[in-house]
Structure 1
Amino acid sequence: MRAMGGDQVAEAVADCVATLGTAVDRDWEGVTAGRLEWSCRETAVHVADDLIGYAANLAGDAQDDYVPFEISLEEGTDNSGLLHVVRATGALLAAAVRTAPRGARAFHPYPFRSADRVGFAAMGVAEVLLHTHDMAQGLEIPYHPAEELAEFVLTFLFPHVQPGPTPWETLLWATGRGELPGRAPVTEWRWRNNLVLAADRLDLVGIRPAEARDLRLGGDGGFEWIEGGPYEGTRDAAGFLLKGYETGVHRPEFGVFALVRREDGRAIGGLGFHSAPDEEGRVEIGYDLVEAARGNGYATEALRALADWALARDDVNSLFATTDPANTASQAVLVRAGFTRVSEDGEGPAFELRAGR
């Protein structure tokens, strides 16, 4: 999977500047931007603020809050000058994304208090696309971004939203700016960066729909794998995640995680849920490791971290797993992680771990 983010930011900003550049002689202060309460000028300043803010958090490794600054335009800056600011701040975010290490994460509140470099890029693209739409509405000029950009935003920030007829229509609906047949209007929304859980030596990194699609098609999903990876079980799990996304039943926090070794940033396996919890709070899990990573306790460590996170939730009461009868190594992992053998049938032994163990 090619590096994602910087090019998309640059493309979105260039299209924004070209679109709004056709109306620089208009009064942006006196025109409301679409359904927003801001004027078009205030909205353009907001876009530039977000672009530079995302760049600063990512490049500055902010972990607890936004970097405490904001931009201020010189008195007398006209609309052309404001677009120059948007273009410059977009270039800074694109550069920050392109130069950030693969595993870099920095503060953003929604929903898990961090985002990676692709997440920051997708948020920047979202701000540009959606607010250019708002300003274009207010100024009554045409605007339709590339569908690939809208899909980029959806597959990295809206994994809980089922794809609609087109990515752009879906993104407008998901952010309360449009309608889709058969779906209720959206009045409140938040995008969702991916969940990352920390274990002793590993990070469990949530896989997003775009990454799952790449894995299912034989790619690396944007991860750097050790030799022999990813294992086939991870590719199969990515396929199930993708199917859930496409059918509208995917809950991102109950998806699939890549197991990334902290010492070198390389992925060694996959771990995740078969679905969201059922009505009784029961959820099934599965996992695999690349052969070269086995025998080091990684699977047990990752499973314990996932179990601790899941069983601390109100909607999970028990975790369930099955193994092949001959896979004694996998059975030993489950036992070491605290699971108890509860049944055995023709498909192999089943194990369970209940809350309050």
Structure 2
Amino acid sequence: MEEAVAGCVAALGAVADRDWEGVRAGRLEWSCRETAVHIAVDLITYAGRLAARARDAHVPFEITLGGAGDGPDAAGNTDVLEVIGTTGALLAAAVRTTPRAVRAFHPYPFRHANREGFAAMAVAEVLLHTHDITEGLGVPYEPPAELASFVLTRIFPQVRPGPAPWRTLLWATGRGELPGREPVTDWRWCNNPVLRTERLTLEGVTPAAAADLSVGGDGGFAWVGPGPFEGTREGAGIVVKQYEEGLFRPEWGMYVLVRREDDRAVGAMGFHGAPDGDGRVEIGYDLSEGARGRGYATEALRALSAWALEQDGVRTVVATVERENAPSRNVVARAGFTLVSEDGAQFVYELRG
């Protein structure tokens, strides 16, 4: 995030002697000055929500800069950039000091975000609005590809990767074109979904976390015992493939099961994809070896299946279990699933709404 803010201040600092008030910022209705102030407002707003641990609403405060002009109290363009740098530093500090499990209010789509989500939203605001201002002023600007990728893989999980992260982010936010894709006229970013049970938090996995898990990383989680079991890494690989094909839907993806008492990940559970035309969705799961035998899988399966059956058009949740996996068969039975078919190797269970 500091890199994004530093890049913004450097790019706009080179044109700080220009008229920002009388020039429209790219395709926006705001002037370049209004857009620059908006960057600072977003940064301090996000910092405030994280610091306050806001749960249900905005923190009711705002910042005010001096007006443009030649008066003694007027804030010039360089002053605005100083405020952007300051509010960026405050948000960076809030992100670093906020515990991993904390989520604070953001209105859409799930009404909350964690520290990584707020960092990604802040980077998006900085990159995109710096682009708007420089476009309005007619000067070039292109941030590092890694920053655009950071945004895309965390809060644009439904966007299929394109030929270059920055061009893809501009297209995804209605600011550019990509060959073979329709122009975007309406968009919103998407933080990861979260469900809670008595003992667990089910945290939706972002494409960034899935990519790390699929190649042997921890996905940003602290795991019990030796770490993720094989099924979790396989599930993460499915998420990565869906993302690369533009088929990933966050709420129908994979969730890491995090024990709230110590913020340790104990396993993963998720859907094989979005519901089909018959309203059927398949679910799978596994637990780390050090977390088995404590009812975590049953607790999570009940919650995630119940959530799925509450969604429009979903009628059946399906679980396929290997014949020799007696503990897993016991889990689905305790969660209320019914055995509907079997062959030599697998049992198929269903839970109907």
Normalised TM-score (structure 1): 0.96
User: Hey, what does 2:70 align to over in structure 1?
Assistant: none
Secondary structure, aligned partner of 1:323: strand
Task: Output the CA distance in 1 between the equivalents of 2:226 and 2:345.
Answer: 27
- Report whether the alignment pairs 1:109 with 2:107: yes
Deviation at residue 346 of structure 1 after TM alignment: 2.4
Matched position secondary structure for 1:351: strand
Does residue 202 (structure 1) correspond to residue 200 (structure 2)? The answer is yes
Q: Which residue does 1:97 correspond to in 2?
A: 95
Name the structure 1 match of 2:14. 22
- Uncovered stretches (5+) of structure 2, i.e. residues with no partner: 67-72
1:227 is paired with a residue of what secondary structure? coil
Separation in structure 2 between the aligned mates of residue 152 and residue 317 of structure 1, nearest angstrom? 36
Cα deviation 1:219-272 (Å, max 9, x = unaligned)? 000000011221110000000000000011111110000000000000000000
Q: 2:317 corresponds to which residue?
A: 319
Tell me which residue corresponds to 1:140.
Answer: 138
In the TM superposition, residue 59 of structure 1 has moved relative to its aligned partner by 1.1
1:43-192 aligned within 5 A = 43-74=35-66, 75-192=73-190
Question: What's the offset of the Cα at 1:66?
Answer: 1.1
Match of 2:295 in 1: 297
Deviation track 1:149-200 (CA, whole Å, cap 9, x = no partner) reads 0000000000000000000010000000000111110000000000000011
Partner Cα separation in structure 1 for residue 168 and residue 345 of structure 2:
41
Give distance in 2, aligned partners of 1:255 and 1:337: 20
Q: Look up the SS of the partner of 1:23 in the other structure.
A: coil
- What is the distance in 2 between the residues matched to 1:130 and 1:240? 30
SS of the equivalent of 1:131 reads helix
Task: Spell out structure 1 runs of 4+ moving beyond 3 A.
Answer: none
Q: Secondary structure at the match of 2:223?
A: coil
Q: CA deviation at 1:348?
A: 1.1
Structure 1 residue 316: Cα displacement: 1.3
The RMSD of aligned alpha carbons is 0.6
Stretch of structure 1 that moved more, 342-351 or 31-40:
342-351
Following superposition, the deviation at residue 308 of structure 1 comes to: 1.2
Superposition map of 1:214-229 within 5 A: 214-229=212-227
Paired position in structure 2 for 1:42: 34
Return 255-264 or 69-78, whichever deviates more: 69-78
With the length of structure 2 as denominator, give the TM-score of the two structures.
Answer: 0.98
1:314-353 counterparts in 2 under 5 A?
314-353=312-351
Inter-partner Cα distance in structure 2 for 1:252 and 1:170: 19
Which runs of 5 or more residues in structure 1 are unaligned? Answer: 1-8
Q: SS of the counterpart of 1:319?
A: strand
Query: Partners of 2:253 and 2:107 in 1: how far apart?
Result: 20
What residue number does 1:278 align with?
Answer: 276
Aligned residue identity for 1:302: A
Provide the C-alpha distance between the structure 1 equivalents of 2:204 and 2:150, rounded to a whole number of angstroms.
17
Q: Within 2, Cα distance between the matches of 1:227 and 1:102?
A: 19
**CA apart distance, 1:141:** 1.1
1:33 aligns with 2:25: yes
Give the paired residue count. Answer: 347
Helix, strand or coil for the counterpart of 1:53?
Answer: helix
Q: How many angstroms does 1:315 deviate by?
A: 2.7
- Matched AA of 1:316: V
Give the match's secondary structure for 1:270: strand
Partners of 1:214 and 1:351 lie apart in 2 by 31
Rounded Cα–Cα distance in structure 2 between residues aligned with 1:348 and 1:240 = 21
CA distance in 1, matches of 2:306, 2:44: 37
- Cα deviation per residue 1:40-67 (whole Å; 9 max; x = unaligned)? 0000111100000001001110001111
The share of aligned pairs that are identical, in percent, is 65
Q: Which amino acid aligns with 1:38?
A: W
